[in-house]
């Protein structure tokens, strides 16, 4: 399931770049890059057995999921709001089912 976290991080980065290209939003670019890299770095830490990676992944997923859910309620737009909500919830479910990295050795 940690593969999903890596994909989630990549989607976040790509979303930030798309936001910059389509709307000229520097905030989208910076936020997408920062949160995407944080997700990928946290995933790698968790794979290496560092529990801080787990807690960071849960925290980032909650923050992004909440942010985009609020945006979805305000605008009703599926892209990117609802997509990011679904990815955030999927990542949270996967992390909570996984519990600890020793149960799954991803990226070996």
Over residues 39-74, the pLDDT tens digits come to: 999 999 999 999 999 999 999 999 999 999 999 999
In a domain, 12, yes or no: yes
Using CA atoms, how far residue 44 sits from 5, 7, 17, in Å, is: 10, 12, 22
Q: Tell me whether residue 69 is in a domain.
A: yes
Q: Could you tell me the sign of the dihedral formed by the alpha carbons of 17, 90, 64, 54, in that order? A: negative
**Overall pTM surpassing 0.95 (yes/no):** no
pLDDT band at 103 (very low <50, low <70, confident <90, very high): low
Distance CA 29, CA 3 (A): 23
State how many domains the chain has.
1
9-21 CB burial, b ≥16 within 10 A, e <16: bebbbebbebbbe
Domain that holds residue 39: 2-98
């Amino acid at each position: 399931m940690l593969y999903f976290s890596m994909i989630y991080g990549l989607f976040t980065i790509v979303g930030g770049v798309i936001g910059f290209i389509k709307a000229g939003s520097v905030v989208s670019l910076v936020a997408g890059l920062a949160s995407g890299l944080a997700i990928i770095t946290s995933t790698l830490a968790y794979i290496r057995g560092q529990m801080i990676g787990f807690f960071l992944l849960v925290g980032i997923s909650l923050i992004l999921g909440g942010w985009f859910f609020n945006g979805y309620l305000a605008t009703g737009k599926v892209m990117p709001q609802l997509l990011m909500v679904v990815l955030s919830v999927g990542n949270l479910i996967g992390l909570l089912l996984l519990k600890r990295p020793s149960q799954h050795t991803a990226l070996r």
